[in-house]
Amino acid sequence: NAGVTQTPKFQVLKTGQSMTLQCAQDMNHEYMSWYRQDPGMGLRLIHYSVGAGITDQGEVPNGYNVSRSTTEDFPLRLLSAAPSQTSVYFCASRTRTGVVNTGELFFGEGSRLTVL
Amino acid sequence: QQPVQSPQAVILREGEDAVINCSSSKALYSVHWYRQKHGEAPVFLMILLKGGEQKGHEKISASFNEKKQQSSLYLTASQLSYSGTYFCGTVPTTDSWGKLQFGAGTQVVVTP
Protein backbone atom coordinates (compact mmCIF):
# COMPACT_ATOMS: atom_id res chain seq x y z
CA ASN A 1 0.00 0.00 0.00
CA ALA A 2 1.31 3.43 -0.96
CA GLY A 3 -1.18 5.20 1.36
CA VAL A 4 -1.96 8.78 0.32
CA THR A 5 0.10 10.06 -2.62
CA GLN A 6 0.31 13.74 -3.55
CA THR A 7 1.83 15.25 -6.67
CA PRO A 8 3.69 17.44 -7.29
CA LYS A 9 5.74 17.87 -4.12
CA PHE A 10 6.92 21.35 -5.16
CA GLN A 11 5.45 23.87 -7.59
CA VAL A 12 6.10 27.49 -8.45
CA LEU A 13 3.37 29.43 -10.24
CA LYS A 14 2.91 32.96 -11.48
CA THR A 15 -0.12 34.96 -10.43
CA GLY A 16 -3.10 34.07 -12.57
CA GLN A 17 -1.88 30.66 -13.66
CA SER A 18 -3.95 27.56 -13.03
CA MET A 19 -2.89 24.17 -11.78
CA THR A 20 -4.14 20.97 -10.21
CA LEU A 21 -2.74 19.28 -7.13
CA GLN A 22 -3.27 15.55 -7.39
CA CYS A 23 -4.19 13.26 -4.51
CA ALA A 24 -4.68 9.51 -4.71
CA GLN A 25 -5.21 6.89 -2.01
CA ASP A 26 -5.18 3.12 -2.31
CA MET A 27 -6.88 2.28 1.01
CA ASN A 28 -10.44 2.40 -0.33
CA HIS A 29 -11.20 5.31 2.01
CA GLU A 30 -14.54 7.00 1.52
CA TYR A 31 -13.53 10.27 3.12
CA MET A 32 -10.91 12.58 1.59
CA SER A 33 -9.98 16.16 2.36
CA TRP A 34 -7.60 18.98 1.54
CA TYR A 35 -5.91 21.20 4.12
CA ARG A 36 -3.55 24.11 3.77
CA GLN A 37 -0.89 24.85 6.34
CA ASP A 38 0.47 28.31 6.95
CA PRO A 39 2.82 29.48 9.73
CA GLY A 40 0.89 30.28 12.90
CA MET A 41 -2.42 29.18 11.36
CA GLY A 42 -2.24 25.44 11.75
CA LEU A 43 -4.14 23.24 9.32
CA ARG A 44 -7.19 24.77 7.69
CA LEU A 45 -9.77 22.68 5.86
CA ILE A 46 -10.34 23.69 2.22
CA HIS A 47 -12.72 21.07 0.83
CA TYR A 48 -13.69 17.54 1.69
CA SER A 49 -15.58 14.61 0.22
CA VAL A 50 -17.49 11.80 1.91
CA GLY A 51 -17.65 9.66 -1.20
CA ALA A 52 -17.50 9.64 -4.99
CA GLY A 53 -19.66 12.41 -6.42
CA ILE A 54 -20.04 14.21 -3.07
CA THR A 55 -18.00 17.24 -2.05
CA ASP A 56 -18.44 20.07 0.44
CA GLN A 57 -16.69 23.24 1.53
CA GLY A 58 -14.44 23.59 4.53
CA GLU A 59 -13.20 26.72 6.30
CA VAL A 60 -11.29 28.34 3.43
CA PRO A 61 -12.78 27.17 0.09
CA ASN A 62 -12.50 30.39 -1.94
CA GLY A 63 -10.18 30.12 -4.92
CA TYR A 64 -10.21 26.32 -4.97
CA ASN A 65 -12.32 23.73 -6.77
CA VAL A 66 -12.57 20.01 -6.20
CA SER A 67 -14.32 17.02 -7.72
CA ARG A 68 -14.52 13.36 -6.76
CA SER A 69 -15.24 11.11 -9.71
CA THR A 70 -13.63 8.01 -8.18
CA THR A 71 -13.06 6.73 -4.66
CA GLU A 72 -9.29 6.86 -5.15
CA ASP A 73 -8.73 10.40 -6.47
CA PHE A 74 -9.48 13.86 -5.09
CA PRO A 75 -7.75 16.61 -7.12
CA LEU A 76 -7.58 20.22 -5.94
CA ARG A 77 -7.74 22.90 -8.64
CA LEU A 78 -6.51 26.46 -8.45
CA LEU A 79 -8.17 28.31 -11.33
CA SER A 80 -6.30 31.61 -11.01
CA ALA A 81 -3.45 31.43 -8.53
CA ALA A 82 -2.83 34.32 -6.13
CA PRO A 83 0.15 34.99 -3.83
CA SER A 84 -2.18 34.41 -0.84
CA GLN A 85 -2.39 30.77 -1.95
CA THR A 86 1.31 30.23 -1.26
CA SER A 87 1.20 27.42 1.28
CA VAL A 88 1.82 23.77 2.01
CA TYR A 89 -1.14 21.63 0.99
CA PHE A 90 -1.99 18.32 2.60
CA CYS A 91 -4.41 15.73 1.34
CA ALA A 92 -5.83 13.34 3.93
CA SER A 93 -8.15 10.36 3.89
CA ARG A 94 -9.87 7.99 6.27
CA THR A 95 -12.39 5.26 6.31
CA ARG A 96 -15.93 6.15 7.26
CA THR A 97 -16.60 4.86 10.74
CA GLY A 98 -20.18 5.51 11.65
CA VAL A 99 -22.09 8.74 11.39
CA VAL A 100 -19.68 11.10 13.10
CA ASN A 101 -16.01 11.68 12.40
CA THR A 102 -14.19 9.25 14.63
CA GLY A 103 -11.48 7.84 12.42
CA GLU A 104 -7.75 8.37 12.08
CA LEU A 105 -6.75 10.66 9.23
CA PHE A 106 -3.91 9.49 6.98
CA PHE A 107 -2.01 12.40 5.46
CA GLY A 108 -0.02 12.64 2.27
CA GLU A 109 3.51 14.06 2.36
CA GLY A 110 2.37 17.51 1.31
CA SER A 111 2.74 19.78 -1.71
CA ARG A 112 4.62 23.05 -1.31
CA LEU A 113 3.16 25.73 -3.60
CA THR A 114 4.69 29.14 -4.20
CA VAL A 115 2.77 31.79 -6.16
CA LEU A 116 4.85 34.71 -7.40
CA GLN B 1 -14.19 28.40 14.07
CA GLN B 2 -10.82 26.90 14.87
CA PRO B 3 -10.21 25.51 18.36
CA VAL B 4 -7.77 27.50 20.48
CA GLN B 5 -4.58 25.85 21.69
CA SER B 6 -2.29 26.91 24.52
CA PRO B 7 0.54 27.40 25.04
CA GLN B 8 1.89 28.30 21.60
CA ALA B 9 5.24 26.76 22.44
CA VAL B 10 6.93 24.91 25.27
CA ILE B 11 10.55 23.90 25.90
CA LEU B 12 11.20 20.88 28.07
CA ARG B 13 14.17 18.96 29.32
CA GLU B 14 14.09 15.21 28.86
CA GLY B 15 12.02 13.63 31.61
CA GLU B 16 9.89 16.70 32.34
CA ASP B 17 6.12 16.87 31.97
CA ALA B 18 3.95 19.27 29.96
CA VAL B 19 0.27 19.93 29.32
CA ILE B 20 -1.23 21.25 26.10
CA ASN B 21 -4.75 22.63 26.18
CA CYS B 22 -7.39 22.81 23.47
CA SER B 23 -10.67 24.68 23.82
CA SER B 24 -13.65 25.28 21.58
CA SER B 25 -16.56 27.72 21.59
CA LYS B 26 -18.86 24.95 20.32
CA ALA B 27 -20.22 21.82 21.94
CA LEU B 28 -17.99 18.98 20.83
CA TYR B 29 -18.54 15.40 19.83
CA SER B 30 -14.88 14.46 19.53
CA VAL B 31 -11.36 15.81 19.94
CA HIS B 32 -8.45 14.51 17.87
CA TRP B 33 -4.71 14.90 18.54
CA TYR B 34 -1.94 14.80 15.94
CA ARG B 35 1.82 15.39 16.04
CA GLN B 36 3.87 16.79 13.19
CA LYS B 37 7.65 16.63 12.92
CA HIS B 38 9.40 19.34 10.94
CA GLY B 39 9.00 18.82 7.20
CA GLU B 40 6.73 15.81 7.63
CA ALA B 41 3.01 15.10 7.53
CA PRO B 42 0.91 15.10 10.72
CA VAL B 43 0.59 11.73 12.42
CA PHE B 44 -2.40 10.56 14.41
CA LEU B 45 -2.04 10.20 18.18
CA MET B 46 -5.53 9.62 19.56
CA ILE B 47 -9.24 10.45 19.50
CA LEU B 48 -11.43 11.27 22.47
CA LEU B 49 -15.16 10.88 22.09
CA LYS B 50 -18.00 12.46 23.98
CA GLY B 51 -18.75 10.23 26.90
CA GLY B 52 -15.59 8.23 26.25
CA GLU B 53 -12.61 7.34 28.38
CA GLN B 54 -9.28 9.05 28.72
CA LYS B 55 -6.97 7.68 26.06
CA GLY B 56 -3.26 7.07 26.04
CA HIS B 57 -0.40 6.63 23.59
CA GLU B 58 3.03 5.67 24.97
CA LYS B 59 3.46 8.18 27.82
CA ILE B 60 1.15 10.64 26.13
CA SER B 61 -2.39 10.73 27.43
CA ALA B 62 -5.34 13.05 27.04
CA SER B 63 -8.61 14.01 28.66
CA PHE B 64 -11.83 15.52 27.35
CA ASN B 65 -14.09 17.74 29.46
CA GLU B 66 -17.34 17.88 27.51
CA LYS B 67 -18.98 20.47 29.75
CA LYS B 68 -16.09 22.90 29.34
CA GLN B 69 -15.57 21.97 25.68
CA GLN B 70 -11.89 21.44 26.44
CA SER B 71 -9.28 18.78 25.99
CA SER B 72 -5.81 18.48 27.47
CA LEU B 73 -2.84 16.48 26.20
CA TYR B 74 -0.37 15.28 28.82
CA LEU B 75 3.27 14.63 27.92
CA THR B 76 4.70 12.60 30.79
CA ALA B 77 8.43 11.99 31.31
CA SER B 78 9.11 13.55 27.92
CA GLN B 79 11.54 11.98 25.47
CA LEU B 80 13.53 13.62 22.69
CA SER B 81 11.19 11.94 20.19
CA TYR B 82 8.27 13.97 21.57
CA SER B 83 9.58 17.12 19.89
CA GLY B 84 7.28 18.44 17.20
CA THR B 85 4.13 20.47 16.75
CA TYR B 86 0.97 19.14 18.34
CA PHE B 87 -2.42 19.89 16.83
CA CYS B 88 -5.84 19.33 18.28
CA GLY B 89 -8.77 18.88 15.94
CA THR B 90 -12.42 19.16 16.90
CA VAL B 91 -15.75 17.96 15.57
CA PRO B 92 -18.75 19.93 16.86
CA THR B 93 -21.87 18.02 17.77
CA THR B 94 -23.95 20.14 15.42
CA ASP B 95 -21.63 19.90 12.44
CA SER B 96 -21.27 17.31 9.74
CA TRP B 97 -18.86 14.48 10.31
CA GLY B 98 -16.57 15.72 7.59
CA LYS B 99 -15.45 18.98 9.14
CA LEU B 100 -12.51 18.22 11.37
CA GLN B 101 -11.00 21.63 12.22
CA PHE B 102 -7.53 22.00 13.69
CA GLY B 103 -6.04 24.51 16.09
CA ALA B 104 -2.95 26.59 15.31
CA GLY B 105 -0.67 24.08 17.01
CA THR B 106 1.70 23.93 19.99
CA GLN B 107 5.40 23.61 19.27
CA VAL B 108 7.17 21.30 21.72
CA VAL B 109 10.95 21.19 21.97
CA VAL B 110 12.52 18.54 24.20
CA THR B 111 16.20 19.10 24.98
CA PRO B 112 18.74 16.64 26.41
CA within 13 Å, CB half, A4: 28
Q: Using a CB-CB distance cutoff of 8 angstroms, which residues of chain B are in contact with residue A106?
A: 44
Query: For chain A, what percent of residues have pLDDT higher than 70?
Result: 93
What is the C-alpha to C-alpha distance for residues A88 and B46, in angstroms, rounded to an integer?
Answer: 24
Q: Using a CB-CB distance cutoff of 8 angstroms, which residues of chain A are in contact with residue B5?
A: 42
What is the C-alpha to C-alpha distance for residues B42 and B90, in angstroms, rounded to an integer?
Answer: 15
Answer yes or no: do A45 and B99 touch at CB < 8 A: yes
pLDDT, greater one: B16 or B57: B16
What is the C-alpha to C-alpha distance for residues A43 and A23, in angstroms, rounded to an integer?
Answer: 17
Q: Using a CB-CB distance cutoff of 8 angstroms, which residues of chain A are in contact with residue B32?
A: 105
> Across the interface, which of B2, B44, B97 has its CB nearest the CB of A42?
B2
pLDDT digit string (tens) for B57-110? 678 899 898 888 999 999 999 999 999 999 999 987 755 566 788 999 999 999
Using alpha carbons, list the distances in angstroms from residue B23 to A82, B47, B61, B82, B102. 32, 15, 17, 22, 11
Residue B53 has pLDDT above 70, yes or no: no
pLDDT digit string (tens) for A18-69? 999 999 999 999 889 999 999 888 999 999 998 899 999 999 999 999 999 9
Question: Looking at CA atoms only, how far is residue A3 from chain B in angstroms?
Answer: 12
What average pLDDT does range A2-11 have in this prediction? 95
CB pairs under 8 A between A and B: 69
